Structure 1
Amino acid sequence: MTLDLLVRTAAVLTLVPTLFAGPPAPEPTALAVSQALVAAFGSDAVVDDSQDTHCQSAPAMPVAYRTDRIILRPPATMTTPTALARLAAALQAEMGAGTFTIGTPEVLEWNEPAAARLDDSPLRKVISVPVGSVSAEDVPVLRVARRLVRLDHLPAAPDYLVGPSNGPLGVWPDGGPEKTGSPGVPRPGLGAGTTVALFDSGVPASIEAKLPPRLSALTAGDAEDPDRNDDDLADVYYAVHLTAIAGIFATIVPEADVVGVRVTGPNGVATEFSAAKRMVTTLRAAHRAGAWPQVIVNSFGTAVCHEGGPNPGVDLIPLGLQLVAEAVDRHQEAVVVAAAGNRGTDKPFYPAAFQGGVESVISVGALDATADNDGNAWTSKSRTAKPASFSNYGDWVTAWAPGVDLATYHAVGLRFEPGGELIDGYAKVSGTSFAAPFVGAEIAEELARHSGSPLEAWRAVRDAGRPCSAEVGSGVAVALSSMDSRSTTPADRGLPAEC
């Protein structure tokens, strides 16, 4: 599998302190994160704080979603017209006859057969349906989705707005990017022959960011303009996010080929359906060309609403991203390494939380490896560290890796808050957004050393790590013991586990 083949295929494409003594309080930035997403997206989206809708059971976290779309995933035995008829009946029951409109649906399917599974039947499709109100009021998409799930047994959910797992301007989990003079020191010769796909914010031009040597955009449409009005201030809160993620790979596995794929729209925001659509389009084409990336990184995600009623704690999951997770797991050609989020809560954050039923999805929380005495934010002799104060946690988090003050490639001549310092090519960053590629890079390192599947490589990395405590929901810590050690170097069991 080569980078060139994956890029040629693309020619036909378009476009998460101290050890927890108990559950920490949610980060005060959670509301600001959702508000920033909605502000960037525009008028057809809302922040649901659960005060009126009871979107989540207490303690509730804010959730952002579109008010002009509803996502359906019909059972295999249900046709699209039948699903739309049930949606119309649910809208009428919630809003009244003649008060709503339904637009032309968009269908997302994955029909490629999978050699890794005996069942080659197509995965169930996902349908994005435009909905509107004839009045000035928003369509009650959450109530409609809940009705469809409870009464019609039709999986439905809002089209959630997803955000990268760092934070908006002024409310980063551990402070904004901090200017530094160089990226992490590369570990030479590692990762050759592996391909990584980063689905994120796009790849800036070389005059706008210092790009890692082996990072490339999949298509011309995967470019990012982080400062469209040329005021030297980042336009959106995750500007140059993909570049910083790629820099983690450039340090740990500098010979790996990294391909950037933009999932954000012109407004700089992605929804779960639009992100899923771009992932499906890209991965289906790679499948047909025999050019799967072995490691897929999703350093974005969302909290979700609950079904409510008789199932108050059951999640209304993002159905498009569920389709992607199932497809990757079925084909067994790649793993999805996903950030667990930075809200300091145990509430599931998707797509990372799909790991419970999909082995190929690896959910990653952040460790703070700056607190030990080795002087290196990337390493810990025990292969563990204290969980970062901002990191989500819980029994749905699979792995823990360093995610505080990692020096990486970044913007050139860009500020991340008014009056802030100009970043000039390199910055220290924090977030589960950067813990996730840390694990992805360790998997790529193992893949380059040994033949086998990406899932087998992950198991090798996992088995060499240190189990974390039940207080953070368990999971395995896989910090490097040193920059000269391997991703599968066993931890020194004489040292205490810190997570």
Structure 2
Amino acid sequence: MTRYRHRAGELLVHADDCAALGPELARFGYHPAGAAGTLRRFTGTRPVPEVLAALREPHRAGPNHLFGADRIIWGDLRPRPTDKDLTPVPAGDIRHWAGVIDTGIVLREGRPHEFLGGRVRYDPEDTVRVVRGEDGNPAGSAGHGTFVAGVVLKQVGPAVGVRMKGVVDEQSGDTEDLAVANALDDLREEGITLINMSFSGETFEDTPPKAIEAALQRLSPDTVVVASAGNRGMRQRVYPAGIRPAPTVPGQVDDEHALVLPVGSADSSLTPRVADFSNFGPWIAAYADGVDVVGPYFHAGYPGQPPQEVPKFNGYAVWSGTSFSAAVVTGRIAAVMATGKSARDAAGEVLGAAGRITVFDVNGSSEVPHVQGN
């Protein structure tokens, strides 16, 4: 069984490689079936891992990888009710937009959550329906995008808004390589230079996902992409967070392409430390508060609970995960951008002014930026 997850019967090939690789793929029953940017989609019936293992040059083709918010919906890191809430901030003259690629926005009576109010922008396809279980409670990941957007907006004033791109499936919590790439292209065309991606996954032979990597290369060099490092408590690099070297490594900053910041979770309940669930390692650029984060979640009284359980869901929840650590960093960068700085300069200021968290690894200890959230 492969460790990476992918769309069955689909391979991605760069347009420049199609002439050479197409005939070989045809022998395995794979044929062109559409394009996205510089990539071509090939479809067939034989299992993708089997085809890749048989290709003479397997790295010239790649799976259409699937990414998700691991452990966040059905696993150990579930949203929990809280007696805390947040005071909505009315929208001002919004001059800066942070892009969020996620599940989309949940609407109730045609409106987003009151905390988001007029500070979130979306198209009809960026809204999400709530998948309900037999008990009537949410059975999927629909609330994830609203929560992430809310955590971003907690960090900023009324001049910053969130531009939501809904690509993560509300039931499975999955999103594919190509869908993320298309969302990145859309945000680029809208002139958005700060983007949050709170999902992750492993890839074929630990290589960057082809479509997302190509879309990142199309972004302007002053763009910053903040990505969650994953919730499996492991050292292994995951994607899309791991596509580029961490900017804290001397000599590895790439000024010709967008900057990707992989963010892990810190537990600040006592002395700040890496959260037990957070991925870690030298590839991570920063850690941010990610344990029991308060954010908007559906509406008061939903999800339903047994009468004896308190507190009740009050329209907000506490949730843990690197998804929300990434949102904290995105929000902090957006707040600095509102003072007139570029996304890249704002990211440098946020990480430079952050405290430090000690990370212990097989090679000893290191000090990594620790960004605190509101």
Give the TM bin, normalised by the shorter chain: 0.7 to 0.9
Residue 248 of structure 2 corresponds to none
Check whether the contact 2:103–2:167 (CA below 8 A) recurs between aligned residues: yes
Alignment of 1:214-363 (within 5 A): 214-227=118-131, 231-236=135-140, 238-255=141-158, 256-265=160-169, 268=172, 269-280=174-185, 282-286=186-190, 292-306=191-205, 315-328=206-219, 331-356=220-245, 360-363=259-262
Alignment of 1:157-172 (within 5 A): 157-165=62-70, 167-169=72-74, 171-172=75-76
Shift of 1:223: 1.0
Check whether the contact 1:185–1:251 (CA below 8 A) recurs between aligned residues: no
User: Structure 2 residue aligned with 1:400, among 265, 287, 290?
Assistant: 287
Q: Which amino acid aligns with 2:180?
A: A
**Aligned equivalents of 1:86, 1:274: Cα separation in 2:** 26
From the superposition, tell whether residues 153 and 229 of structure 1 become closer, same or farther in structure 2 (CA, over 3 Å): closer
Check whether the contact 2:224–2:261 (CA below 8 A) recurs between aligned residues: yes
Shift of 1:359: 5.7
From the superposition, tell whether residues 250 and 230 of structure 1 become closer, same or farther in structure 2 (CA, over 3 Å): farther
Instruction: With the length of structure 1 as denominator, give the TM-score of the two structures.
Output: 0.64
Residue 196 of structure 1 corresponds to 98
Residue 274 of structure 2 corresponds to 387
**Aligned equivalents of 2:338, 2:95: Cα separation in 1:** 6
Shift of 1:418: 10
Q: Which moved more, 1:270-279 or 1:470-479?
A: 470-479
Check whether the contact 1:302–1:350 (CA below 8 A) recurs between aligned residues: yes
| Secondary structure of residue in 2 paired with 1:88 | helix
The number of aligned residues is 354
| Secondary structure of residue in 2 paired with 1:127 | strand
**Aligned equivalents of 1:188, 1:204: Cα separation in 2:** 19
From the superposition, tell whether residues 192 and 274 of structure 1 become closer, same or farther in structure 2 (CA, over 3 Å): closer
| Secondary structure of residue in 2 paired with 1:179 | coil
Q: Which amino acid aligns with 1:245?
A: V
Q: What CA RMSD, in Å, does the superposition of the two structures yield over aligned residues? A: 3.1
Residue 105 of structure 1 corresponds to 33
Check whether the contact 2:267–2:275 (CA below 8 A) recurs between aligned residues: yes
Check whether the contact 1:339–1:433 (CA below 8 A) recurs between aligned residues: yes
| Secondary structure of residue in 2 paired with 1:443 | helix
Instruction: With the length of structure 2 as denominator, give the TM-score of the two structures.
Output: 0.84
Shift of 1:454: 0.6
Mapped pair 1:71 → 2:9? no
Residue 35 of structure 1 corresponds to none
Q: Which amino acid aligns with 2:331?
A: A
Check whether the contact 2:221–2:258 (CA below 8 A) recurs between aligned residues: no
Structure holding more strand per residue: 2
Q: Which amino acid aligns with 1:327?
A: R
Shift of 1:161: 1.6
Residue 455 of structure 1 corresponds to 344
Residue 129 of structure 1 corresponds to 42
Alignment of 1:346-495 (within 5 A): 346-356=235-245, 360-372=259-271, 385-412=272-299, 413-415=301-303, 423-449=313-339, 451-469=340-358, 471-472=360-361, 474=366, 476-480=368-372
**Aligned equivalents of 1:263, 1:418: Cα separation in 2:** 33
Check whether the contact 1:211–1:243 (CA below 8 A) recurs between aligned residues: no
Q: Which amino acid aligns with 2:283?
A: W
Shift of 1:343: 0.5
Q: Which amino acid aligns with 1:102?
A: Y
Alignment of 1:17-28 (within 5 A): none
Check whether the contact 1:232–1:414 (CA below 8 A) recurs between aligned residues: no
User: Structure 2 residue aligned with 1:82, among 10, 16, 20?
Assistant: 20
Deviations 1:303-348 (A, max 9, x none): 1232xxxxxxxx23311111122222xx124211000000000111
Q: Which amino acid aligns with 1:321?
A: I
Q: Which amino acid aligns with 1:105?
A: A
| Secondary structure of residue in 2 paired with 1:275 | helix
**Aligned equivalents of 1:245, 1:166: Cα separation in 2:** 16
**Aligned equivalents of 2:367, 2:334: Cα separation in 1:** 20
Deviations 1:125-184 (A, max 9, x none): 22221111xxxxxx2312322444xx3375222222211255232x133xx212123435
From the superposition, tell whether residues 70 and 388 of structure 1 become closer, same or farther in structure 2 (CA, over 3 Å): same
Q: Percent identity?
A: 24
Check whether the contact 2:224–2:259 (CA below 8 A) recurs between aligned residues: yes
Deviations 1:341-390 (A, max 9, x none): 00000111100001317661110000011225xxxxxxxxxxxx111100
Gaps spanning 5+ residues in structure 2: where? 246-253
Shift of 1:103: 4.4
Check whether the contact 2:168–2:175 (CA below 8 A) recurs between aligned residues: yes
Gaps spanning 5+ residues in structure 1: where? 1-47, 49-54, 56-61, 92-100, 110-124, 133-138, 287-291, 307-314, 373-384, 484-499
